[in-house]
A and B are shown apart, each in its own frame.
Chain A
Amino acid sequence: MRKFQFRNFLIVAVVIATALFISGCTRYEEGKQDNEPTTAGDWIAYTANDFEFNYPDGWFVELAQRHGENDELIYSLLVKNTDKEVVLGGSAPDDYYIEVSGKSEINSQKYTNYYALINVNVTQSSEGWDDFFAKYYPDSVTGFETVDLSFLTDNETVQATSHNAVYLGDPRYFIRSGEFVYDIALHVNGVDEGQAQEVFKDFIQNFSF
């Protein structure tokens, strides 16, 4: 059984694609690269340092590690279906757009806005859901409800139903496993939504909680 291990840190944030904003202090280790498949065939083992992880065959993996504000070690995993850069949030770099024939177009040599990716935040918490959201997502997640995921039977899961701040991904599940809560969301842009949903489901099913 491949395990996703935690050492010496309280909060491990696995934020897909945010590594784009973390440059000098991060180190990426690349997995298999491919050019834009959406569906996943086999699942590939990814091993680096303390990590043993599964990712969909044909997808792209990056691992970054850095130290947080309290010197805790924070790992970030990037799993996406393209080897090009993906920019998330509302702020684009200066070279994100180029002008072609008087029109602003994405700089496709470097970036893509056709992608599927998964966003995971992992928080160490033993609080109940109300306290959990009040503590870690104040003014952000303002409503949630229990959901029953057929592909995930052993864990307690809720789904965010309302927000008061920018967030990424839909659907977005909060899955409790032991002393950790996994905030996992799917973000799809311009590729087959149904196929991405299938991968997302398999990703959670294969995830070593």
Chain B
Amino acid sequence: MKKVAILVILILVSITGSVLAENNNQILLDEVQFLPQSPPGDWSFNSNCGPTAALIMASYLQDFSPTVEHLKTAIDWLYNNNYIVPQTSYGAEHYDGNLTNMGQLKKLLENHWQTGFVIKRNACHLDKLRQEIEKDNPVMVAVHIKMNTAKLGHFMVVIGMTDSEVIVHDPGRTAGQFNRYDLDTFVNSWRTASNCASLFVEEQVVTWHPDGALISSVNESDVYVLIDGKKNLIDSDQVFEAHDFPRDMVIEVSDLELSCYDDGFIVDWQPVRELFQVEDGTILLYEKASHDSSHCALYEFSSEFAYRSWTIDERLQVLTDQQAEDQYFWRCDLMDTLYVRDGTLVKPNYPISGFGRGVVFVASGNGRLRAFSTEQAYNEMGYADKYLYHANQNELEGSFRLFDPDITMEMAHRCLNSYYITGGSYDENEMDMDNDGYTVNKGDCDDADPLMHPGATESCNGLDDNCNSFTDEGKLCPDGATCLGLAGCYYQETFTDQDLVEPEPEPEELEDEIEPEQDPCQGVSHCLSCRTEQDCYAFDSCDGNNQVSFSGYCLYEGYCHREIIPCQFGCLNGVCNTPQQPDQDQIEDEPEAEMEPDSPEEQDNCPSMDDLVTCTFTCPADMQAYAWYASFGEAIGSPSVTVNSPLRDICLRGQPWIDFNCACLYPSLWSCYDHTVATIECNLPFDRRAGGNGEGEIWFPGIQCW
């Protein structure tokens, strides 16, 4: 008896298991109500599968029960708007309707039932179909009656899927609810009947893509390239090919999105292009606007990876420098450097500082990379099936210039011509464009900068951070320092040797303090925060003790790159005064007390150029330490490295500093790096800072190289 019971249990388990297996990964919108396409009319001559399928979708999305009266109203709407005419068949009834197509049914959904924007897609991708079902979104498909390719064209509504079946409401049968077809049969019919046409309602539509994107309406074949936020029509296939645009990167967008861009120019020229590589490996692009053009231009690719991203279908010539000069350089203008081509998708295979590993970027603005903030943004903007370049550190470095703000769903839903749809608002000032919680109407004085909004902390940066109509108000700088607006806090008091260069917070401390919304320059002198390169300017400033030279580059850490140079002889015209022959009187006039070191050892040791500078940089055990100094020196060690060099060599760069970094050894050298994890010991006082290119720097404030 016991054995029988066990057997029964095993059988039940087996049956249950097989049922579960059959329903594996089933997703079903079981609350979608069904209505057959007849009545009204009768089954003969009945052509109402289209409006009935649309009604099934609309009733679910708008939460009403579909009835014959609803269907008759829809058929009347199609007649009244001249989309269909009554059939002329003998025996056909008024409410037998007539043939409809996807374009008409899209209008029926959008305009009659006002479901919101409807996407028509031709793509034989079951995963995309499933994605819509998972979003609680039934999908209309153009197939055949009973999925039989030998039968008539028909519309059904997909309401569920399993690993092996599609579940539909088929309005062409009285018993058409929850009909199941195996996936192969379905796809065969779907593809044969309509090249996999589908309709679904998009509740919130993507209406923006970054510059460089190639876009095309789902309803038209015209392709546009986005430049400066405008859509520029590519005049013909020949023009498209001549520009080496990658065909597989064209993104289908809604008509609404197309209407969101102002018209730019018509791309109607077919450039003549040649590629060549010179002796140092640099690859250049020669370009003329046409065969007849007498003017030519040369563009240098910033890296081989950048060159590949341009997908230029020309043979690469390898030339000697002399050949390149003779053939190209003497007669062409040298133009901008070409970085990764705008619109290119790049996925670094190493962690990027500030982003981590696995982030996907899209290039935009010749050398600017923008990360997708979420996978949803990446998918919904149509990039999921586009070509993705995987790049290692060697390939990517030098292929771009800087990072721009991440692409968020908020950005994807904006509309640049002041026609806004998100949240039902049609007012730009009602939109929170920088995602800081404030709109213009709510007092955001710069809706492109998330650091600026009511309630934000005011910083010394020349901006009205808290949007109270006052700039840099209040006490924003430490004691003894003055806020100079854009140039940050400046110390006006006399410097001692120890604070000849105002010490900045240790990077570790700084990073601990940094939160995404915080200003990295807050409380830091000579610092200008930035989000893009446009926020930085190249300029020099001098306050009598230090010259601060801003290079115009925005560092990853969020502030403008600058060098702080102590001035031995004061300032002249905004920079350090460097007299050719120092006036002895002037030197003597320099207050001795101000130059005297505070520390006893420095009081005793005025360093000479022959003195050794000894610094040890120690990285974690699984990293390798690097130090760069003078104009040539590189020292490497694991996990630490010691620089032992005469001051004369350290000063070969004109200023006394050493660059350093810690590089990961695994999975490969430089697969990651972080200068902030290094500990440093030196025989001279030093200031530690974050430098360019993700490196750290130490400066010796007590050293005057010249």
Contacts and interface: CB of A to CB of B under 8 A. Distances in A.
A139 B150 contact: no
A58 to B, nearest CB: 21
B173 A140 contact: yes
Contacts of A104: 81-84, 104
Interface stretch (B151-159, B340-348, B501-509): B151-159
B164 interface: no
A190 B88 contact: yes
Given A97-B83, A104-B104, A139 B174 contact: yes
Main SS class of interface, B = loop
Contact of A165 (B45, B103, B172): B172
Interface in B124-175: 142-145, 149-155, 172-175
Given A18-B151, A18-B152, A23 B192 contact: yes
A166 B88 contact: no
Most buried by B among A13, A76, A167, A193: A167
A13 B84 CA distance: 31
B569 interface: no
Interface stretch (A47-55, A86-94, A148-156, A198-206): A86-94
B193 A21 contact: yes
B532 to A, nearest CB: 43
Interface in A161-187: 163-170, 187
A125 interface: no
A22 B44 contact: no
Contact of B90 (A13, A114, A193): A193
A7 interface: no
B192 A22 contact: yes
B37 A90 contact: yes
A94 B101 contact: yes
A113 B174 CA distance: 27
A79 interface: no
Contacts of B102: 94
B83 A169 contact: no
Contacts of B486: none
Given A91-B142, A94-B103, A163 B49 contact: no
Contacts of B43: 163-167
A74 interface: yes
A96 B98 CA distance: 12
Interface in B29-81: 37-38, 42-50, 81
Interface residues of B, number: 49
A90 B87 contact: no
Interface in A7-55: 13, 15, 18, 20-24
Contact of B150 (A13, A93, A94, A102): A13
B99 A87 contact: yes
B580 interface: no
Interface in B470-529: none
B194 interface: yes
A79 to B, nearest CB: 16
Given A23-B192, A164-B43, A166-B43, A91 B83 contact: no
Main SS class of interface, A = loop
Contacts of B101: 91-94, 96-97
B154 A166 contact: yes
B82 A166 contact: no
Nearest to A89: B152
Contacts of B175: 139, 164
Nearest to A197: B90
B150 A89 contact: no
Given A167-B43, A167-B44, A170-B44, A89 B49 contact: yes
A63 interface: no
B46 A91 contact: no
A15 B151 CA distance: 7
Contacts of A208: none
A96 B101 CA distance: 8
B49 A90 contact: yes
B88 A113 contact: yes
Contacts of A187: 89
B600 interface: no
B424 interface: no
Contacts of B82: 102-104
A146 interface: no
A193 B50 CA distance: 27
Nearest to B44: A170
B468 interface: no
A89 B153 contact: yes
A183 to B, nearest CB: 12
Given A113-B88, A189-B88, A193-B90, A87 B153 contact: yes
Nearest to B43: A163
Interface in A94-117: 94, 96-97, 102-104, 113-114
A188 interface: yes
A103 B92 CA distance: 22
Contact of A89 (B103, B154, B192): B154
- 7 closest A-B pairs by beta carbon, nearest first, are A89-B152, A91-B153, A90-B49, A190-B88, A92-B99, A89-B153, A165-B173
5 contacts: A74-B150, A91-B194, A97-B83, A104-B83, A104-B84
Interface of B: 37-38, 42-50, 81-84, 87-92, 97, 99-104, 142-145, 149-155, 172-176, 185, 192-194, 197
Given A90-B152, A96-B99, A189-B88, 18 more contacts: A18-B151, A22-B192, A90-B49, A90-B154, A91-B193, A94-B101, A102-B82, A103-B82, A104-B83, A164-B175, A165-B145, A166-B46, A166-B154, A170-B44, A188-B90, A189-B89, A190-B88, A193-B90
